[in-house]
Amino acid sequence: MIPQKEIAPDLKICRILNGLWQVSGSHGYIDPTKAIHDMLDYHNSGFTTWDLADIYGPAELFIGKFRKTLEKLKGKEELKNSQALTKFVPNPGPMSKNIVAHHINNSLERMATDCLDLVQFHWWDYNDPNYVEALIHLSDLRNEGKIKHVGLTNFDTERLTKIKDLGINVLSNQVQYSILDSRPEKKMIPFCQKNSIFLLSYGALLGGFLSDAYIDKPEPHRGSLNTASLQKYHNMINAWGGWVLFQELLHVLSQISKKHNCSIANIATSFILAKPVVAGVIIGTRLGISEHRNDNSKVFEINLDSEDYSMIESVTKKSQNLFEVIGDCGSEYR
């Protein structure tokens, strides 16, 4: 059984979430039939929580088809055992109630449900203050029963503080967080601890770089980075300290993984799951292409000790401070 976390009285999620950015088109073609078959396998293996967005290509449609198939195979009651956390990612501009409701109604239809578990709101431009209006309307739709909970994606602590001060309640914030990228620890985690807000973290595996596959490998050329994730996180590695230092980190993680009889990816995931207010780690799924369910399930057998943390810190202390280089959570998008 994959451990779950209750983030609200009416919402429990798996501590490892299935990320659907990988179906958006930027990671290659995904066969829809194979995708739904794979989604059923994830569900039956206990990985029942999906993270997606209205801009992730057919992701919401996949959820809708998956739900209909699951109900046909196991009955309507089984749908209660599946959670789908989507995102509302509009272009900046006027955010009337009708505009927000239109987007949410589209998500409801595509996902074949009458209530969304969690809508994680993202806003591209803080200079446009209409994000406050959008959140007010999302809160109204929550009160009307179309949304269970409202969360955020890639908001920084300054804006999260403003939102909280306006009396707008949010359940969570989704941010990038990994052994390399500890920016949430500077401001975000202390604020969330004080205000009972959960973090959903992505990027814990750096798109696959934090794995046994890259140890003792030469730095990849741009042309060989064939997914959006690899391109994004290669840039992050360079900003953090470069390929040589990254190899040093991989060797340390390899030693720790051998000690715990697991993979480097397991260590990287466990490291973030142990952090305060982190409700879950999102791991991307390349449906119908590859899967790592058995390996991911081993994460919950690991208890990192002080020696492990000291070994990791012996490398990370040599790196650049990404909070100073990039800024607070989400600053890389603005």
Which has the higher per-residue pLDDT, 221 or 245?
245
Query: What CA–CA distance (Å, rounded) separates 46 from 14?
Result: 8
Extents of the domains making up the chain: 8-208+272-302
Question: Partners of 173 in the beta sheet?
Answer: 152, 199
Mean pLDDT throughout 116-123? 98
Model confidence pLDDT, tens digit, residues 285-295:
988 787 888 89
Cβ contacts of 167 within 8 Å, gap of 6 or more: none
How many CA atoms, within 13 angstroms, populate the side-chain half-sphere of residue 91? 1
| CATH of range 8-208+272-302; options 3.20.20.100, 2.60.40.10, 1.10.10.350, 3.50.50.60 | 3.20.20.100
Look up residue 284 and give its two tokens: 């991307």
Whether the per-residue pLDDT at 231 is higher than 80: the answer is yes
Q: What is the pLDDT of residues 154-192, one digit of tens each?
A: 999 999 999 999 999 999 999 999 999 999 999 999 999
Beta-strand relationship, 147-153 and 83-88: unpaired
pLDDT score for 289:
81
User: Alpha-carbon torsion 287, 147, 121, 174, what sign?
Assistant: negative
* pLDDT average, residue stretch 224-241: 92
Higher pLDDT, 289 or 264: 264
Rounded Cα gap, residues 243 and 29, in angstroms:
29
The pTM is what?
A: 0.95
